[in-house]
């Protein structure tokens, strides 16, 4: 009888804990569901071809699109990526492969600190370093701010992914008389590539969604511009401007811009998955 | 008898921890030398000093190792490892490379890109490693998708492709089933015509089957080094006899 009592007690505890974890999982996805629900339901009204190929219209005139902002966001994360990806991947490689000293400890610590710095602070730094000497806002300044923001994510993911590559592969490379730098490049990085790409994607997505550091670097632009020396439009800054404007029409377009931003990141993610797809089936 | 590798008064350390003490032995050319001894006796460390892989994990040595009379400490480790190849305990093919590229890796990554040049070498090495018939129709498959025994023979083929003079094998069959083990042993027998082989093994029958000479290591010391037949029939030292008879270790 006693054993039966414990049996049911154990069963009950198990069920309660299971329920709790299920509720927690549900709570975690609810905000995501709301985000999707609102952006899609509110943003879909203006989602048409025009939104992608037309320029913004003045207040009062209906229609128009955000072609300049879409291209602007792509240029900004392009510049950011051109800075953040090489620096991040190489730093991560250095940390895991070549360093076992105080300098590495310092770099790792500073990278962690950098990842904790609010993005607006990075914007201020880019403002001081690039905008003030150039004497005007520019896509370059915005891109540099985004690049700095990407570095910690990409560095740490690269480091962790390289650490997952079995030590035996390094030894196999070296034992074949392949120099260390080539072993690292052609064997280690090649093996860890998929994981590194995920880190790069995370960095790019985060950068694409940044608004604060762009406000006083890339600024924004009502017109078509692909000149990186000039202010440039971006989806996030448009969302910010349009969402707080008093015009109903603009508020609607802000939702559409948000939807397009999500779509853009999804497409980017899909492209990455296809590029990094392994040549071989894993069994 | 021509001496390929000559080890003189070798001490090996990990940090301050001494793991090999005053080892001296001569490894003759085109022979198989087996290294036996209980776990932790320094066998693996010993063969890793021979291609300077010991220093990759931060180890240091004292004493001298001569390859054809040339001091290893004075050679470039990268060039040295082309002359002294190594097969590891666990098969470690490169998972991102095809079977073909696994074999060609050592050459390709050292600048030989011409596929016309590589193809006959890859075929020859796979044949030498007795793997050709099993993989000739899927050379473009991943090197990690074949069986463990095949992977180990792939690793041997990969080592052969660099055209080494000496092949070090660190318990090459300990992770394999008996049939694959037999294949590897037959292979060693074939390979010694062209190469000098040093093999670490836990398996005394294996040492007796494949080697010409056997070295018995215990607690970082070389206890006995002699002709394999003599070692397994009438060892000189009591410790060797106890180990071979299975009284310890």
Q: Tell whether A194 and A60 lie within a shared domain.
A: yes
CB-based contact B92 A176, cutoff 8 Å? no
Q: What is the mean pLDDT of residues A162-186?
A: 93
pLDDT confidence tier of residue A281, bands split at 50, 70 and 90: low
B88: its two tokens: 């590891």
Q: What is the mean pLDDT of residues A99-110?
A: 87
Residue A99 has pLDDT above 80, yes or no: no
Alpha carbons B4 and B27: distance in angstroms, whole number: 6
CATH of the domain at A168: 1.10.3720.10
Q: Tell whether A124 and A213 lie within a shared domain.
A: yes
Task: Using CB atoms, pick whichever of A166, A183, A191 lies closest to residue B96.
Answer: A191
Residue A132 has pLDDT above 60, yes or no: yes
Residues of chain B with pLDDT under 70: 248-249
Alpha carbons A260 and A52: distance in angstroms, whole number: 9
Q: Tell whether A33 and A124 lie within a shared domain.
A: no
| A39: in domain | yes
User: What three-state secondary structure class fits B13?
Assistant: strand
Which of residues A45 and B248 earns the better pLDDT score? A45
Q: Tell whether A170 and A254 lie within a shared domain.
A: yes
Q: Tell whether A14 and A145 lie within a shared domain.
A: no
B248: its two tokens: 């310890």
Q: Tell how far CA A84 is from the center of its chain.
A: 11
CB-based contact A190 B158, cutoff 8 Å? no
Alpha carbons A189 and A165: distance in angstroms, whole number: 9
Which of residues B183 and A281 earns the better pLDDT score? B183
Residue of A nearest to B158 (CA): A176
| A143: in domain | yes
B180: its two tokens: 């694959």
The percent of residues in chain A predicted with pLDDT above 70, rounded, is: 98
| pLDDT value of position B249 | 54
> What residues in chain A have their Cβ under 8 A from chain B's Cβ atoms?
166, 168-179, 182-183, 186-187, 190-191, 193, 278-281, 283
Helix or strand holding residue A173 (H, E): helix A167-175
- Which residues, other chains included, contact B171 with Cβ-Cβ below 8 Å and sequence gap of 6+? B44, B89, B200, B201, B202
Q: Tell whether A34 and A58 lie within a shared domain.
A: no
| A266: in domain | yes
B49: its two tokens: 């000093």
- Which residues, other chains included, contact A178 with Cβ-Cβ below 8 Å and sequence gap of 6+? A186, A187, B78, B105, B106, B109, B110
| pLDDT value of position A68 | 93
Q: Tell whether A32 and A64 lie within a shared domain.
A: no
- pTM over cut 0.95: no
CB-based contact B88 A172, cutoff 8 Å? yes
| A280: in domain | no
Handedness of CA A87, A88, A89, A93 (dihedral sign): positive
Alpha carbons B36 and A14: distance in angstroms, whole number: 53
| A20: in domain | yes
Strand partners, A65: none
Q: Tell whether A123 and A231 lie within a shared domain.
A: yes
Residue A67 has pLDDT above 80, yes or no: yes
Q: Tell whether A257 and A119 lie within a shared domain.
A: yes
- Which residues, other chains included, contact B231 with Cβ-Cβ below 8 Å and sequence gap of 6+? B214, B216, B224, B240, B244
Total number of domains in chain A: 2
Q: What is the ipTM of this complex?
A: 0.90
Query: In sequence order, which ranges of B129-177 are alpha helices (DSSP H)?
Result: 132-135, 148-161
Q: Mind listing the pLDDT tens digit for each residue in A240-250?
A: 999 999 988 88
| A80: in domain | yes
Q: Mind listing the pLDDT tens digit for each residue in A80-92?
A: 999 999 999 999 9
Domains belonging to chain B, first-starting first, are 3-244 (3.40.50.300)
| pLDDT value of position B245 | 84
A158: its two tokens: 């690269």
| pLDDT value of position A65 | 87
HSE (side-chain half, CA atoms, 13 Å) at A199:
26
Q: Check if the beta carbon of residue B218 is closer than 8 Å to that of residue B41.
A: yes
Q: Tell whether A33 and A156 lie within a shared domain.
A: no
Which domain, by its residues, includes A109? 53-275
Q: Check if the beta carbon of residue B28 is closer than 8 Å to that of residue B227.
A: no
Q: Tell whether A183 and A117 lie within a shared domain.
A: yes
| A283: in domain | no
Q: Tell whether A122 and A231 lie within a shared domain.
A: yes
| A282: in domain | no
Residue A283 has pLDDT above 50, yes or no: no
| pLDDT value of position B32 | 95
Query: How close is the nearest chain B Cα to the Cα of A111, in Å?
Result: 27
């Amino acid at each position: 009888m006693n054993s039966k009592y414990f049996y049911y007690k154990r069963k009950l505890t198990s069920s309660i804990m299971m329920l709790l974890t299920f509720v927690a999982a549900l709570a975690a996805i609810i905000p995501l569901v709301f985000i999707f629900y609102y952006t899609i339901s509110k943003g879909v009204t203006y989602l048409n071809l025009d939104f992608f190929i037309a320029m913004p219209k003045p207040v009062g005139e209906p229609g128009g699109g955000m072609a300049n902002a879409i291209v602007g966001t792509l240029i900004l994360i392009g510049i950011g990526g051109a800075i953040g990806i090489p620096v991040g991947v190489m730093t991560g490689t250095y940390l895991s492969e070549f360093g076992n000293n105080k300098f590495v400890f310092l770099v790792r610590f500073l990278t962690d600190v950098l990842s904790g710095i609010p993005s607006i602070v990075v914007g201020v730094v880019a403002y001081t370093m690039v905008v003030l000497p150039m004497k005007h806002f520019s896509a370059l300044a915005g891109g540099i701010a985004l690049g700095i923001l990407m570095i910690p994510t990409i560095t740490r993911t690269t480091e962790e992914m390289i650490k997952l590559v079995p030590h035996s592969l390094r030894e196999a490379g070296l034992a074949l008389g392949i120099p260390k730098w080539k072993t690292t490049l052609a064997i280690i990085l090649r093996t860890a590539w998929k994981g590194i790409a995920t880190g790069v994607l995370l960095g790019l997505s985060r950068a694409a969604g940044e608004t604060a550091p762009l406000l006083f670097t890339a600024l924004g632009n009502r017109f078509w511009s692909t000149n990186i020396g000039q202010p440039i439009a971006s989806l996030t800054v448009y969302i910010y401007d349009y969402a707080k404007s008093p015009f109903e029409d603009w508020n609607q377009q802000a939702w559409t811009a948000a939807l397009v931003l999500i779509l853009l990141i999804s497409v980017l993610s899909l492209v990455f998955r296809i590029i990094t797809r392994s040549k071989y089936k894993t069994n | 008898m021509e001496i390929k590798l000559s080890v003189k008064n070798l001490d090996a350390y990990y940090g301050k921890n001494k793991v090999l003490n005053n080892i001296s032995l001569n490894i003759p050319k085109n022979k198989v030398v087996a290294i036996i001894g209980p776990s932790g006796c320094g066998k693996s460390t010993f063969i890793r000093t021979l291609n300077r892989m010991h220093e990759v994990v931060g180890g240091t040595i004292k004493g001298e190792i001569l390859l054809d009379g040339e001091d290893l400490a004075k050679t470039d480790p990268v060039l040295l490892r082309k002359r002294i190849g190594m097969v590891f305990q666990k098969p470690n093919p490169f998972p991102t490379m095809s079977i073909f590229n696994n074999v060609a890796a050592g050459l390709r990554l050292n600048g030989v890109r011409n596929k016309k040049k590589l193809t006959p070498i890859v075929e020859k090495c796979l044949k030498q490693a007795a793997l050709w018939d099993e993989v000739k129709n899927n050379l473009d498959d991943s090197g990690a998708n074949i069986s463990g025994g095949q992977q180990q023979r792939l690793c041997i083929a990969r080592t052969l492709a660099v055209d080494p003079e000496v092949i070090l094998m660190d318990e090459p069959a300990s992770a394999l089933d008996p049939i694959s083990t037999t294949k590897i042993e037959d292979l060693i027998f074939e390979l010694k015509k062209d190469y000098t082989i040093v093999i670490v093994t836990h398996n005394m029958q294996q040492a007796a089957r494949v080697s010409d000479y056997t070295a018995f290591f215990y607690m970082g010391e070389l206890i006995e080094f002699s002709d394999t037949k003599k070692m397994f029939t009438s060892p000189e030292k009591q410790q060797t006899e106890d180990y071979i008879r299975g009284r310890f270790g």
